[in-house]
Structure 1
Amino acid sequence: MTARRTQVAIIGSGPAGLLLGHLLKAEGIDCVLLERASRDHVQSRIRAGVLETVTTDLMHRLGLDERMNREAMVEDGFNLADGDQMVRIDIKALTGKTVVVYGQTELTRDLIAAAPQRELEIVFEAADLALHGVDSAHPKVTYTKDGVPATLECDFIAGCDGFHGPSRRAIPQHLAREYMHEYPFGWLGILADVPPCHDELIYANGPRGFALASMRSPTRSRYYIQVPLTEKIEDWPEDRLWDELELRFNTISQHGVTRGPALEMSIAPLRSYVFETMHYGRLFLAGDAAHIVPPTGAKGLNLAASDVLYLSDALIAHYRRKDENALLGYCDRALARIWKSERFSWSLTKLMHSFPDQNAFERQMQVAEMDYLSRSPAMQTAIAENYVGLPV
């Protein structure tokens, strides 16, 4: 068995764990990232692509923004459509801010590639991860690497290991404050190397249900449609999905849907989830380990970034000034932004989807809401403020 010590053990090498590790190392705080999956698997995961200022600012602060600055697409607005009616939300004019389209996959690759130069250690394929003594002054993480048991002792553990990771389960169930809402549909997505059908994102609703036209670059598109939870990927050959996308977007988009071979297709369920017990003893949760938002509104990665900003500030204050107040206040600070982002994603999901039990009155409420939105600068401003990201 091998044993060693660090100041902060970070579980998970998604964007939350990687950003936290880089921020702590930049301040001279020793940390080690432990990741169950392989590097190839982590770098191949297809995830979100719209970045708020909170996320891009962290990349600028770390000096890891060179490729993002060169390749990312800056978006001044996005669109909400109901049938043939489309409303453009001019986020730059309404808020003075923009969002950046840069795939989470690319962000993750940038952070991993910079780790050796920044002396940030990442242990990939760390099997059998388990947390111990999180409510004591001497927590530790045990794992197995290449068949050899190992122990990492530390001052603090940061659980950035997603919804299915072990960190949240280390918190006693009787202390858990947990909230969940499951949606009665999923998103069927396709990624393809084809030009986008529109220069900005389109969230669309109508008789055939929800669809999203988005992009990862000027030559790579990401589309989604709403499907029942009973659907399987085998039910959707590529031609069937492209046919459906053409029906949804060819009448409202600038360029029309271009077909191409799928790089990836998947069906993801939608849920809203908050685990308010983000702090227990020497364990702190961040990112998807503590909350999930439906992808409507692109908040997941950006909420992880704000968690990491707050947690890194708190840990830096602890090590630099022996200030414990920031650590004790981490949950309240993070949850204030989490719940507002949950509200926005929930409300946009309600507006833009067809629900299985939706009656005629509820459908007319969606139509009325869109009509009001099209005529109300105040409502457009509220949506734009939430979309670009509330203040941190």
Structure 2
Amino acid sequence: MKTQVGIIGAGPAGLLVARILQLNGIEAVVLERRTRQYVLDRVRAGVLESGTVETLRTYGMGARLDREGIPMRSMQLCWDRQKADVSLDDGTGRHLTTYGQQKIVEDLITQRERDGLPIIFEAAVDRLEDIEGETPRIHYTHEGEQKVIECQFIAGCDGYHGVSRRHIPGSDEHVFLTEYPFAWLGILAQAAPLAARRGFAHSTRGLAVASARSATVGRLYLQVEPDADPNAMSDQEIWDELDLRLDDGTDARLNRGPIIERSVARLRGYVCEKMRHGRLAIAGDAAHIVPPSGGKGLNLAVGDARIMAEAIRRLLKSNDTGLLDTYSEMCLRRIWPTVHWACSMCEAFHIFPGQTSFDTRMQYQMLNHWGNTEIGQQRLRKAQLGLPYEI
């Protein structure tokens, strides 16, 4: 098979690159090792920056988002049985929007299939070849057969465990990684989220998060041990624990309902600073992972996709390598400040092994700074709304 761009990974980054290239008249084939149903069912973050929303609208992916997205104009912080509501209004009209990542993926897949463009599911990429030449090749296995795609560029959007990063020479020497000693138990529940009960809570029992996925479905999290069994707690035990950790000194309690999905995710911070070599570039989780505190992973992936797609367009349409040569540098200008903020949030809200009462008081001081001081609120607001896109 021959195409102009081979895209590895049918997550938000890969699918958005494919969509942008399509609208610029560039052919692409998307390879995904998982099944179509697995990709559509995979639940991830759902907090979108204004820049992400505008990007999706620009490339024709805003219709359902505009119907179902929930504006998020403030952020609640809870600690030591008190609460602060921080406005996210910076005077520009920007705000966050709650819209599940799996819906974005579904929108992009549906549109691509409607346009008759190829997504090959259950395609296991084995190796990449000749990425320093003008016709790199992707070797993969599909339906028991060894196959090859010859292209002019490879977009590696295949996540932390994917093959793309491993084909960038010396990439391990440019990796920065921290792994946190806890995980998040995430649930989806058929229970109407309460406006007075949405946000991040610090508790001596561990972090809790309450957010909305729709008017009738809640997305909630509990800090748990790294090897926790997602089915170890009953529904009632989970709801009781959430109410304990979200206690802000009032009588408010969460609406309860059936828990329809559970998962446990380890937390890590990771950045690979070498994001391109020859005719291969990586984006999204292949290049960086942030702790879910702050909901920044998807937004970073969109920033990568915008720059990557434009760099590919200039290369293939005009033989201009200028943007491609600065791809890593430009992406990292958004990545590192965003990773720093997400890790700061992580360190302020979680209980760490061996944590002392002094450590807890220091966390209270940081949360009070963000929640109750003008300069702290400005810092939180700016970080949550996100940095502007350069491309």
Aligned ranges 1:1-392 → 2 under 5 Å: 4-93=1-90, 96-173=93-170, 176-198=173-195, 201-249=198-246, 251=248, 256-392=253-389
1:346: how far off?
Answer: 0.7
Q: Structure 2: 5+ residue runs without aligned partners?
A: none
Q: Deviations over 1:121-143 (max 9, x none)?
A: 21111135421122222210112
Instruction: Give the CA deviation at 1:364.
Output: 1.4
Q: Identify if the C-alpha distance between structure 1 residues 210 and 10 changes in structure 2 by more than 3 Å, giving closer, same or farther.
A: same
Corresponding letter in the other structure for 1:23: I
| Structure 1 spans left out of the alignment, 5+ residues | none
Per-residue deviation at 1:71?
A: 0.8
Query: Mean Cα displacement is larger for which, 372-381 or 31-40?
Result: 372-381
2:179–2:268 contact (8 Å) kept in structure 1 = yes
Aligned residues: 389
What code does the residue aligned with 1:248 have?
Answer: R
Moved more, 181-190 or 144-153: 144-153
Structure-2 change in CA distance of 1:151 and 1:236 (3 Å): same
Q: How far is the alpha carbon of 1:17 from its aligned partner?
A: 0.5
Distance 2:349 2:272 in 1: 26
Q: Which 10-residue stretch deviates more, 10-19 or 371-380?
A: 371-380
**TM-score when scaled to structure 2?**
0.95
| Partner SS, residue 89 of structure 2 | helix
Per the TM alignment, residue 94 of structure 1 is displaced from its structure 2 partner at its CA by 5.9
Q: Which amino acid aligns with 1:236?
A: M
Bigger shift: 329-338 or 85-94?
85-94
In 2, Cα distance between equivalents of 1:227 and 1:200: 20
Report how far residue 66 of structure 1 moved.
0.7
Offset of residue 170 of structure 1: 1.5
Q: Does the CA-based 8 Å contact 1:15-1:301 persist in structure 2?
A: yes
Give the conservation status (yes or no) of the 8 Å contact 1:8–1:157. Answer: yes
- Separation in structure 2 between the aligned mates of residue 28 and residue 324 of structure 1, nearest angstrom: 18
Indicate if the aligned counterparts of 1:21 and 1:120 stay in contact, CA closer than 8 A: no
SS at 2:149 equivalent: strand
Give yes or no for contact 1:210–1:352 (8 Å, CA) kept in 2. yes
Per-residue deviation, residues 65-94 of structure 1 (Å, max 9, x unmatched): 111111110111111111221111100246
Q: After superposition, give the CA deviation of every residue in 1:322-345 in whole Å (9 maximum; x if it has no partner).
A: 221100011000011100100000
Q: How far apart, CA to CA, are the structure 2 residues paired with 1:224 and 1:330?
A: 35
Determine the C-alpha separation between the residues in 2 that align with 1:11 and 1:140: 12
Distance 1:171 1:333 in 2: 18
Measured against aligned partners, the alpha-carbon deviations of 1:194-219 in whole angstroms (never above 9, x if no partner) come to 11133573100022221000110110
- Residues 331-389 of structure 1 show CA distances to partners (whole Å, capped at 9, x for unaligned) of 00001110010000011111111111222222111122223333321221111111011
Residues 60 and 89 of structure 1, relative CA distance in 2, 3 Å threshold: same
Report if aligned partners of 2:4, 2:28 keep a CA contact under 8 Å in 1: yes
Encode CA deviations 1:197-251: one digit per residue, 9 max, x unaligned.
3357310002222100011011000111111224322432222111101222365
